[in-house]
Amino acid sequence: MEKYIASPKRYEKSETMYQRCGRSGVLLPKVSLGLWHNFGGVDDYSRSKEILRYAFDHGITHLDLANNYGPPYGSAEETFGRVMDEDFRPYRDELFISTKAGYDMWDGPYGNWGSRKYLMASLDQSLKRMRLNYVDLFYSHRYDPDTPLEETLQALVDIVHAGKALYVGISRWPLEATRFAIDYLKQRDVPLLIYQGRLNMLDREPMDEGILQLCHEAGVGFISFSPLAQGLLTDRYLNGIPEGSRMTREHFLKHEMLTPELLLQLQTWNAEAQAEGRTLAERALRWILEQKGVTSVLIGASSTAQLDKNLRAID
Ligand SMILES: NC(=O)c1ccc[n+]([C@@H]2O[C@H](COP(=O)([O-])OP(=O)(O)OC[C@H]3O[C@@H](n4cnc5c(N)ncnc54)[C@H](OP(=O)(O)O)[C@@H]3O)[C@@H](O)[C@H]2O)c1
């Protein structure tokens, strides 16, 4: 591939593209890109790189990773690290990179959940794979019922003090633990920047459980992962299951999820979106961004064409 020079037009839509993350100093793009799928060691590197280039060229400054994204585990961070070296190094200060630890990563008792031992070691490994000195945002990837919350949260505070992350976040924590985290971190002058939760037209749990409202009131940002329900809230499955789609891999998005009732619902929403001159994907992303307290939708993409379509949601 030819040498990369970022598009001079990448901030052309700044006024509509960025919004403040809670009551922090950070602006995030309304559409962010996650590297959970399509950036692993099993994927075509040149396509992964092309998607990353396209994202940055269109103002997507926030890229979201986790230690175990791949497959194999760690390889999405390696892919990103390679692109960092080959393309993005001159633009490091224009990028907002997050990673996480919380799910199974390596064998034995210290490669999972929420201990200080795991979080500290995992971030050091992630930084090496991503070829970074620090991440902008480090998350506890999930709530650990067996580790004292103080231990997990103090590890996040100390990671910031060590200069390995600028901000901290939590993902998929229940309401009361989130409230505790907000208070604990605030008292230590490392305020919780953002909560990452699954919110989309098919799954409204963070709204129903009061997490979105809590974040909004506390000045904490909220980023919605799987905003397209892994592709269900697009035209991907309206006429069958296309070859190469995530559902054909039968791992995270299983065939049986696409019930006749769901298909009918998707078709109805699709018709409503078309009547407004929009696609189902645009409608789904706009619906999330309209909810009070939401900072960004964290999409996935297997092609630049999908990214291009999804970015139209903010026009
Ligand atoms: N915190 C957590 O626990 C957690 C959990 C899950 C995800 N996440 C984060 O959220 C990010 C996004 O998750 P996700 O990939 O599930 O998001 P998503 O945006 O709901 O789904 C992305 C998938 O939908 C399909 N798609 C996207 N745009 C399309 C379009 N315009 N037309 C047709 N199909 C389209 C593609 O699937 P095909 O492969 O079929 O093309 C794409 O890979 C992850 O990368 C990760 O960073 C976090």
Q: Which of 206, 209, 207, 258 is nearest to 229 (CA)?
A: 258
Going by CA atoms, what residue is nearest to atom 9 of ligand 1?
A: 225
Q: Is the distance from the beta carbon of residue 99 to the nearest atom of ligand 1 less than 6 Å?
A: no
Q: How does DSSP classify residue 118?
A: H
Positions in the chain whose pLDDT score sits under 50:
none
Q: How many domains does the chain have?
A: 1
Contact indicator for 28, 295 with CB cutoff of 8 Å: yes
Q: So what's the pLDDT on residue 34?
A: 98
280 lines ligand 1 (CB under 6 A): no
Q: Is the separation of the CB atoms in 36 and 43 below 8 Å? A: no
Sign of CA dihedral 95, 252, 126, 143: positive
Domain that residue 299 falls in: 14-234+279-314
* Inside any domain, residue 217: yes
Q: Which atom of ligand 1 is nearest to the CA of 200?
A: 20
Distance of CA 36 from the midpoint of ligand 1 (Å): 8
User: What is the structure's pLDDT at 180?
Assistant: 98
Q: What is the pLDDT of residue 249?
A: 87
Ligand 1 touching residue 36 (CB < 6 A): yes
CATH number at residue 209: 3.20.20.100
Has residue 255 been placed in a domain? Answer: no
Residue 206 Cβ contacting ligand 1 at under 6 Å: no
Inside any domain, residue 244 = no
Q: Is residue 111 part of a domain?
A: yes
> Is 3 inside a domain boundary?
no
**CA–CA separation, 53 vs 76, rounded Å?**
15
> What's this model's pTM, rounded to 2 decimal places?
0.98
Let me know if residue 7 belongs to a domain.
no
Position 129 in a domain: yes
Is the CB of residue 298 below 6 angstroms from any atom belonging to ligand 1? yes
What pLDDT score was predicted for residue 2? Answer: 84
Q: Which of 286, 232, 284 is nearest to 261 (CA)?
A: 232
Residue-wise pLDDT for 152-195, tens only, equals 999 999 999 999 999 999 999 999 999 999 999 999 999 999 99
